[in-house]
Amino acid sequence: MEAAMSPRLRPLWKLLAAPGLALSFAHASEPLLPTQSLLLPPHELGVGRRVEDLSLETSAGIQVPLHTLAQGKALLIALFQPTCPLSHKLGPELARMEKQCAAQGILPLLLNVSPHPNPESERTFLQKYGLQSAVVRDARQAFLPALRASTSTETFLLDRTLTLVYRGAIHDQYGLDHTKPEPEHHFLREALRALSEGKRPAIEATSAPGCALSLPHATPPPPSQLTYHKDIQRILQNHCVPCHREQGLGPFSLESLPDVLEHAAMIRKQVERGAMPPWFAAKAPRHVWANDTSLGEQDKADLLAWLASDRPQGDPAHAPLPPRFAKEWTLGEPDAVLEMPAPVHVKAEGTMPYQYALLETHFPEDRWVQAYEILPSAPAVVHHVIVSVQEPGAKTPRLNAVEGFWAAYVPGNSARRFPEGCAKRLPAASKLALQIHYTPNGTAMQDRIRIALHFSKSPPRQEVKVTSLANLRLQIPPGAPDHVETAQRVLPRSLEITGYMAHMHVRGKAFKYEVIPPGGKPETLLEIPRYHFLWQLQYSYLQPRLIPAGSTLKATATFDNSSANPANPNPAQTVRWGEQTHDEMMIGYIEHLVPATLTP
């Protein structure tokens, strides 16, 4: 059947014929690992029907009916939100769509879906991407509900009679939790082309991954005894604001009530789907992990209840004290700072191969590092940094992932202070090799990483080291949704474990650490049932766990190489070990302690 089709329709056939996609439809609320399907039933979403001729507000504050705005032309209405990271990733493509619309006689409108539009942030967004289209707002909150819009990146294509001919994503390059090197399907481009040719688009409706919209309730929301200042602000300060603040690692701020109301729907979505706060270990007693960021059951229930209510502000006198954050180094003034010799140029769109750098130390003797902090100059585009120690004469960076690492950075985990009496050894005149994964966000920029070092004031009792359980013989079959690989070793001596960090790439689905004592039964040390490549967190014990000699440590990894995995570069490929993101790895890092007098 495919061979008889025109070349234009073959990509559509491949999308429809992919396993699990033929009759599968996505929903607005996605799980942590969403399915690949973007297709939606068009006639259940108004495609083919005339859009209600409601009014939208122009930048001059004037309400204008839709047919007047259209000026007798076909109309593209593209939603955007200036504070949404997905809107920014799609900014360059929106500019290209403007040009395609102009060439085809279609009028583009940009609809700012922010519930509290800020003229300055709107202007900044438009200028950043060179957007020229008129901007409108749904000030009466009637148009977006009538369209049943759900995210900040949806587009709606109307012919000159206001008939909806396409609704959905611009393309399929970006999702909430993944990025492809290039789009595989340009849904909007194809719809624009079909409209100009007087044809129906081959695909008429898709979901559009983006920030969830705050739309009016069909019925008045219930009142709440919880208030922002007395209850909710404290929950957010404890769990969200350390990253979601001005100059923080989060894509938008949650420091004020207007910030929270701006992103209320997205907060609710991410909390409900378990994506925020980022903590993906299976439930364990609170005394197990030192860095558990998850919401307690009561905090989660209160936050979701307030978001679903009339969201009362309460008495500002009940507000908590504002948190204080360091302007630069969160661990205080360092003893030494190492810097990349030159900045890295990060492109605006798509993906980038890992970048490498080599940092000189010039220390004449071994140093004991009691704390470190890794600080990118452009944290918005830095996914992770892995640091390894190299010999003094090294000319180029060399990292062997299986050998462990000396330091690491992921969003939300940029600094590490080791317990009193514990430190990492930095050999004299050694060099630090950096492997950096950049994730473009819509704007080209430069990044230059610095590493702050805090030296131990006295010789430590124990040295912090990292070892690993790794399987270099990966062979993940094409299309396999739950392929399991394992690695294990018998401990020749007792091991005092302080933490774990699982590492897989975009096909990683779940990870588990187990210990099997001599003659005993397996015990789970750490289970990550919903692994995600974007959040390679370290899980640190509150108290070290001693594993006796003769025990077997085992790591089990599950991979999803199916077409239902939206981040999968090629479901038809047999996947093996490799360094880049489109390859795969299976490494269970184990941080542990050894006597500091032990020879490295």
> Does the pLDDT of residue 159 top 60, yes or no?
yes
Cis (ω within 30 of 0) for the bond into 277?
yes
What are phi and psi for residue 4, nearest 5 degrees?
Answer: -85, -5
Closest CA to 517 of 572, 554, 481: 554
Contacts within 8 Å (CB) and 24+ apart, 541-545 = 541/288, 541/289, 541/290, 541/497, 541/498, 541/499, 542/287, 542/288, 542/289, 542/290, 544/496, 544/497, 544/498, 544/593, 545/496, 545/497, 545/498
Residue with tokens 């390859």: 583
- The total of other beta-carbon atoms located within 10 Å of residue 199's CB is 11
> Does the pLDDT of residue 286 top 90, yes or no?
no
Helix-strand-coil percent breakdown of the chain, rounded to 5? 20, 30, 50
Q: Around 75, how many Cα atoms within 13 Å sit in the side-chain half-sphere?
A: 23
Instruction: Please tell me the predicted confidence (pLDDT) of residue 32.
Output: 54
Closest CA to 273 of 137, 177, 174: 177
Instruction: Please tell me the predicted confidence (pLDDT) of residue 23.
Output: 26
Q: Above pLDDT 90, what percent of the chain?
A: 78
Instruction: Confirm if 571 and 523 have CB atoms less than 8 A apart.
Output: no
The span from the first CA to the last CA of the chain, in angstroms, equals: 63
Which of 95-99, 139-143, 364-368, 577-581 is predicted with the least confidence, judged by mean pLDDT?
A: 577-581
Instruction: Please tell me the predicted confidence (pLDDT) of residue 402.
Output: 84
Q: Which residue has the higher pLDDT, 181 or 266?
A: 266
Instruction: Please tell me the predicted confidence (pLDDT) of residue 287.
Output: 75
> Does the pLDDT of residue 17 top 60, yes or no?
no
Sign of CA dihedral 516, 522, 525, 531: positive
> Does the pLDDT of residue 2 top 80, yes or no?
no
Cite the beta strand spans of 159-214 per DSSP E: 164-168
> Does the pLDDT of residue 398 top 90, yes or no?
no
522-540 confidence digits (pLDDT tens): 999 999 999 988 888 899 9
Instruction: Please tell me the predicted confidence (pLDDT) of residue 214.
Output: 87
Q: Which residue has the higher pLDDT, 517 or 34?
A: 517
The residue-averaged pLDDT of 241-266 equals 92
The residue-averaged pLDDT of 125-135 equals 97
406-455 confidence digits (pLDDT tens): 999 987 678 999 999 999 999 999 999 999 999 999 999 999 999 999 99
308: its two tokens: 């679903």
332-356 confidence digits (pLDDT tens): 999 999 999 999 999 999 999 999 9
> Does the pLDDT of residue 399 top 90, yes or no?
no
Which of 12-16, 94-98, 467-471 is predicted with the least confidence, judged by mean pLDDT?
A: 12-16
Instruction: Please tell me the predicted confidence (pLDDT) of residue 21.
Output: 29
> Does the pLDDT of residue 29 top 90, yes or no?
no
Instruction: Confirm if 170 and 153 have CB atoms less than 8 A apart.
Output: yes
199-223 confidence digits (pLDDT tens): 999 999 999 999 999 888 778 889 9
What's the chain's average pLDDT? 90
Strands 495-503, 55-58: pairing is: unpaired
Instruction: Please tell me the predicted confidence (pLDDT) of residue 580.
Output: 83
What does the alpha-carbon distance between residue 427 and residue 361 come to, in Å, rounded to a whole number? 9
Instruction: Please tell me the predicted confidence (pLDDT) of residue 397.
Output: 81
The residue-averaged pLDDT of 576-593 equals 93
What does the alpha-carbon distance between residue 421 and residue 338 come to, in Å, rounded to a whole number? 24
pTM: 0.86
- The total of other beta-carbon atoms located within 10 Å of residue 21's CB is 19
Q: Which residue has the higher pLDDT, 178 or 103?
A: 103
By the 10 Å C-beta count (0-12 exposed, 13-18 middle, 19+ buried), 476 is classed as: buried
